[in-house]
Amino acid sequence: MTSVCTAWRKAAHATPTLWCDLRLRLKQPKYADSEACRIRGPFPDEFEGDMVTAYLSRSWSLPLHVVIELDNECRSSEIIEAILPFCSRIQHLCLNVHITAAIPFLQAPSSTLPALKSLSLSVELILPEDGDNPFPDEDIVEARMAFFFSDKIQNLLGLYRTQESCTHRKRELHTTRYTGAPITRATPI
């Protein structure tokens, strides 16, 4: 819409409700097998966290709905860092990223997300070939619990671990759902 003409661009930039819903679904296509694609990931060369900052800044002070689904570990961290300054306005948050990208966001104090009403987390943990887990279970639980202190959350998708895959040394944390009265204290899933 901002590319149609100058008038449309000005109108779009002056309408904050157009910028309240950020959905980044940048997953590597399953058929993408080239070396360049594996190195760069699905992001265009010019894609940067600054683009996310500019997008969310246009929403002025309105509440935000943020969906982030990324499978490129390096760029995921950059995107998460760009979102952190806007945390106080996030009402609905869905993260589907590698654990290293999510940890800084998850360890933010609960007061960082005062408007949060719903949360969905799907975090992937890929273990090194030697079997050492760089993120012990206690760290994952501690990071996860940071979100459970909000007394305003009414819809929560939590985490649980599936069996380890023998072929790929990969574990995924999947979601379970809580819907109901606001959560008033830390509640284990």
Span 51-65, pLDDT tens digits: 999 999 999 999 999
Q: Is 121 or 46 the better-scoring residue by pLDDT?
A: 121
How many Cβ atoms from other residues are within 10 Å of residue 45's Cβ? 6
185, part of any domain? no
188, part of any domain? no
1, part of any domain? no
Tens digit of pLDDT for each residue in 86-145? 999 999 988 888 777 777 666 777 678 888 888 787 766 655 565 565 555 555 554 455
pLDDT at 78 over 70: yes
186, part of any domain? no
pLDDT mean across residues, the chain:
69
pTM recorded for the entire structure:
0.68
Instruction: Give the domain extent around 49.
Output: 6-179
151 contacts: CB under 8 Å, gap ≥ 6: 182, 183, 184
56, part of any domain? yes
- DSSP notation for the chain: -TTS-HHHHHHHHT-GGGGSEEEEEE---TT---HHHHHHTTS-TT--HHHHHHHHHTTTTS-EEEEEEE--HHHHHHHHHHHGGGGGGEEEEEEEEEHHHHHHHHTS-GGG-TT--EEEEEEEEE--TT---SS-HHHHHHHHHGGGG-TT--EEEEEEE-PPPTTT-EEEEEEEEEESSPP-S----
Mean pLDDT along residues 71-82: 75
Q: How much is the pLDDT for 80?
A: 84
Total residues belonging to the chain: 189
Q: How much is the pLDDT for 119?
A: 79
Residue closest to 175 by CA, chosen among 135, 132, 120: 120
189, part of any domain? no
38, part of any domain? yes
Residue closest to 102 by CA, chosen among 118, 125, 86: 125
Mean pLDDT along residues 32-61: 68
For the chain, the domain total comes to: 1
